């Protein structure tokens, strides 16, 4: 019974082997597929090496752009640019390996399937090159479109072995609109879960903590991760204003099917690949408040009054006396108005005065004359036939002397220098979106800065992150370098220009 069974098994194996050979020979002798109509796409007449070169240039441009965006603090867009670059770089590596001996051929010469897939890819690449005016949602859609086109090409090209390819990772808390992604972390790649292994889930560690299987889902060559609370707390996931998320490491072990054995006895075994990555940190954006203390020196024109008087002059009736009054005005007096008058006078009959200005000396001179004497006629009275006065004579009397003072007065203008302490704050504050920030103090010859206080806060956060107190040298041509209190920033100040650099 056992022998018969063995014979039946051998016959079945021979029939199966014959059938497989016939099918294989049929495939080898089948006529080639009719190629699709060529479309107006750059891939049409371009050698594979040219396509690879074009893709490599674009990947480098995207990576360079991402670095610039990181320096500017736009980590969300930088993350998207890095993903696009990663997809293209992963594809370039596969193409270089697969077509190492056919780089001068076109995809059209290789085969219809590869040609159509390459055409779809370059259409997606064309979208990448037109991202300048696109929104974050548009760019995210382009990422998925490019990944789909790249994976389609990888499925079409004759890879000797298919193994997982890692493109990149994005964190939801960096997206402009977190609602655009349903998962906390999204990993993009090729063959991250293999149908041959019933889409076995990968093993993922985030910041050293292994994620439970129920927090991992695989969809369309994307791995979606929901982070447990303990992981979120460890990596500060959420990107809060006062506590932006730091970069964190990820390690992922993915499983894929690998054919084992020798034809015709072959089976699918399990193999694995491990990828490591660091998620981009949250954007560290700072608001810098600059307060300047110093001395304000101003000059203004002020009108002053002056007045001076001579000593008192005394005189008798009909006596003329002279007087003078002099005022020395301050140096720089100008527009001098000069007046003079006699004041506090008594028993006068006449007066005169004049005023002269010589430089800053004002002089008044004048004369004053006493009152007239009081005179009357006296004589003898004769009585008789007539009544009259004989022996007439005049008698004069001065009832009292007089007095007076000569006064000089007027106005002048003078420039007054004022020195006062002053403090002001630059408005609006300076924004640091990368590793450099610049502030220009107002050009004002009347103000001399003596101290600059710089408070650095994270954007939308009230807590002071770091600060400077910079003493400004008396010589404005001297530059000064200063390190912040926490050693995170360096400030350079010279001739009204303040530069702040982040050190770490």
CATH number of domain containing 274: 2.60.40
Tell me what pLDDT residue 37 has: 29
Report CA dihedral (259, 260, 266, 267) to the nearest 10 degrees: -70
- Residue given tokens 């079945």 in the structure block: 12
HSE-up of residue 144 (Cα within 13 Å, Cβ side): 12
Mean pLDDT throughout 239-267?
Answer: 87
Tell me what pLDDT residue 3 has: 38
Q: At what angle do helices 112-128 and 136-156 cross, to 10 degrees?
A: 160
pLDDT exceeds cutoff 60 at 337: yes
Query: Does 19 fall in a domain?
Result: no
Query: Does 169 fall in a domain?
Result: yes
Q: At what angle do helices 75-98 and 48-71 cross, to 10 degrees?
A: 160
408 and 392, same domain (yes or no): yes
Mean pLDDT throughout 314-340?
Answer: 94
Q: Which residue has the higher pLDDT, 261 or 343?
A: 343
Contact 411, 306 (CB under 8 A): yes
Residues 231-245, buried b or exposed e (16+ Cβ, 10 A)? bbeebbbebeeeebb
Contact 202, 164 (CB under 8 A): no
277 and 291, same domain (yes or no): no
pLDDT exceeds cutoff 70 at 89: yes
Q: Which residue has the higher pLDDT, 283 or 310?
A: 310
Tell me what pLDDT residue 386 has: 53
Tell me what pLDDT residue 7 has: 39
pLDDT exceeds cutoff 80 at 184: yes
pLDDT exceeds cutoff 70 at 22: no
Query: In this prediction, what percent of the chain has a pLDDT beyond 90?
Result: 45
**Could you give the C-alpha distances from 393 to 331, 371, 380, 396, 398, in angstroms and in order?**
62, 22, 10, 10, 17
pLDDT exceeds cutoff 90 at 227: yes
449 and 379, same domain (yes or no): no
292 and 440, same domain (yes or no): yes
The two tokens of residue 250 are: 């990820």
268 and 221, same domain (yes or no): yes
pLDDT exceeds cutoff 80 at 206: yes
What range defines the domain where residue 454 resides?
287-296+420-502
Going by pLDDT thresholds of 50, 70 and 90, the confidence category of residue 1 is very low
- Averaged pLDDT of the chain: 84
pLDDT exceeds cutoff 60 at 26: no
Domain end, chosen from 225, 255, 283, is at 283
Q: 114-118, 145-149, 179-183, 192-196: which has the minimum mean pLDDT?
A: 179-183
Domain end, chosen from 258, 283, 308, is at 283
150, 135, 152: which is closest to 85 by C-alpha? 150
Tell me what pLDDT residue 118 has: 81
315, 312, 343: which is closest to 400 by C-alpha? 315
Domain end, chosen from 110, 132, 160, is at 160
Going by pLDDT thresholds of 50, 70 and 90, the confidence category of residue 303 is very high
Residues 6+ apart with CB under 8 A from 303: 411, 412, 413
Length of the chain: 504
Looking at the 3D structure of the chain, how many domains does it have? 4
For 226-248, the DSSP string reads: ---HHHHHHHTTT-BTTBPPPPE
Tell me what pLDDT residue 384 has: 54
Q: Which residue has the higher pLDDT, 260 or 339?
A: 339
Summarize pLDDT for 155-177 with one digit per residue, the tens: 887 766 778 999 999 998 887 66
Query: Does 20 fall in a domain?
Result: no
304, 299, 307, 354: which is closest to 334 by C-alpha? 304
Going by pLDDT thresholds of 50, 70 and 90, the confidence category of residue 500 is very high
Tell me what pLDDT residue 159 has: 65
DSSP structural state of residue 220: T
- Residue given tokens 């609602």 in the structure block: 179
The two tokens of residue 251 are: 């390690």
Query: Does 459 fall in a domain?
Result: yes
**Residue 75 CB: number of other CB atoms within 10 A?**
23
Q: Which residue has the higher pLDDT, 72 or 216?
A: 216
Query: Does 28 fall in a domain?
Result: no
Tell me what pLDDT residue 105 has: 86
75 and 149, same domain (yes or no): yes
79 and 143, same domain (yes or no): yes
Long-range contacts of 384-390 (CB under 8 A, 24+ apart): none
Summarize pLDDT for 99-139 with one digit per residue, the tens: 888 888 888 787 787 788 888 887 888 878 777 777 888 88
411, 315, 414, 302: which is closest to 355 by C-alpha? 411
Q: 8-17, 19-28, 87-96, 418-427: which has the minimum mean pLDDT?
A: 19-28
| pTM value > 0.85 | no
167 and 273, same domain (yes or no): yes
Summarize pLDDT for 273-286 with one digit per residue, the tens: 999 999 988 888 89
HSE-up of residue 270 (Cα within 13 Å, Cβ side): 10
- Residue given tokens 């702040």 in the structure block: 500
Contact 287, 299 (CB under 8 A): no
Q: At what angle do helices 112-128 and 75-98 cross, to 10 degrees?
A: 160
Summarize pLDDT for 434-489 with one digit per residue, the tens: 788 999 998 888 999 999 999 999 988 999 999 999 999 988 788 899 999 999 99
Q: At what angle do helices 112-128 and 48-71 cross, to 10 degrees?
A: 30
- Residue given tokens 């200063």 in the structure block: 482
174 and 259, same domain (yes or no): yes
Q: Which residue has the higher pLDDT, 361 or 117?
A: 361
Residues 278-294, buried b or exposed e (16+ Cβ, 10 A)? ebbbbbbbbbbbbebeb
pLDDT exceeds cutoff 80 at 382: no
Tell me what pLDDT residue 477 has: 84
Query: Does 385 fall in a domain?
Result: yes
Query: Does 245 fall in a domain?
Result: yes
Torsional sign, CA 6, 10, 12, 16: positive
DSSP structural state of residue 40: S
């Amino acid at each position: 019974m056992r022998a018969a069974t063995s014979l039946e098994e051998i016959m079945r194996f021979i029939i199966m082997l014959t059938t497989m050979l016939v099918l294989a020979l049929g495939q080898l002798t089948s006529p080639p597929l009719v190629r699709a109509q060529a479309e107006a796409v750059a891939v049409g007449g371009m050698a594979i090496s040219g396509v690879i070169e074009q893709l490599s240039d674009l990947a480098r441009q995207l990576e360079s752009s991402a670095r610039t965006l990181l320096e500017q603090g736009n980590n969300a867009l930088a993350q998207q640019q890095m993903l696009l670059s990663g997809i293209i770089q992963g594809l370039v590596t596969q193409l270089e390996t697969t077509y190492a001996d056919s780089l001068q051929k076109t995809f059209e010469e290789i085969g219809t399937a590869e040609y159509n897939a390459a055409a779809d890819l370059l259409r997606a690449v064309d979208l990448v090159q037109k991202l300048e005016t696109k929104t974050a949602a548009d760019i995210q859609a382009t990422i998925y479109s490019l990944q789909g086109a790249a994976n389609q090409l990888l499925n079409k090209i004759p890879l000797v072995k298919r193994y997982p390819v890692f493109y990149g990772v994005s964190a939801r808390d960096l997206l402009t609109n977190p609602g655009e992604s349903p998962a906390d972390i999204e990993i993009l790649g090729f063959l991250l879960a293999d149908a041959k292994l019933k889409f076995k889930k990968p093993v993922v560690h985030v910041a050293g903590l292994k994620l439970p299987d129920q927090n991992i889902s695989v969809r369309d060559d994307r791995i979606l991760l929901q982070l447990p609370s303990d992981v979120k707390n460890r990596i500060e996931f959420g990107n809060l204003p006062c506590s932006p998320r730091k970069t964190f490491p990820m390690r992922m072990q993915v499983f894929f099917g690998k054919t084992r054995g020798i034809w015709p006895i072959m089976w699918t075994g399990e193999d694995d690949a491990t990828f490591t990555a660091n998620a981009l940190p949250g954007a560290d954006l700072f608001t810098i408040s600059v307060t300047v203390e110093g001395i304000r020196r101003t000059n203004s024109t002020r009108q002053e009054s002056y007045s001076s008087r001579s000593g008192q002059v005394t005189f008798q009736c009909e006596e003329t006396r002279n007087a003078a009054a002099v005022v020395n005005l301050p140096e720089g007096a100008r527009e001098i108005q000069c007046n003079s008058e006699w004041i506090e006078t008594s028993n006068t009959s006449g007066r005169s005065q004049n005023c002269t200005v010589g430089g800053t000396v004002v002089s008044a001179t004048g004369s004053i004359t006493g009152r007239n004497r009081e005179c009357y006629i006296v004589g003898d009275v004769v009585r008789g036939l007539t009544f009259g006065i004989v022996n007439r004579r005049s008698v004069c009397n001065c009832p009292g002397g007089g007095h007076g003072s000569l006064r000089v007065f007027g106005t002048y203008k003078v420039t007054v220098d004022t020195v006062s302490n002053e403090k002001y704050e630059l408005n609006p504050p300076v924004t640091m979106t990368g590793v450099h920030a610049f502030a220009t103090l107002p050009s004002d010859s009347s103000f001399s800065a003596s101290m600059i206080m710089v408070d650095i806060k994270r954007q939308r956060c009230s807590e002071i992150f770091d600060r400077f107190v910079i003493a400004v040298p008396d010589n404005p041509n001297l530059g000064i370098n200063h390190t912040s209190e926490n050693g995170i920033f360096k400030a350079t100040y010279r001739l009204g220009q303040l530069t702040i650099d982040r050190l770490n």
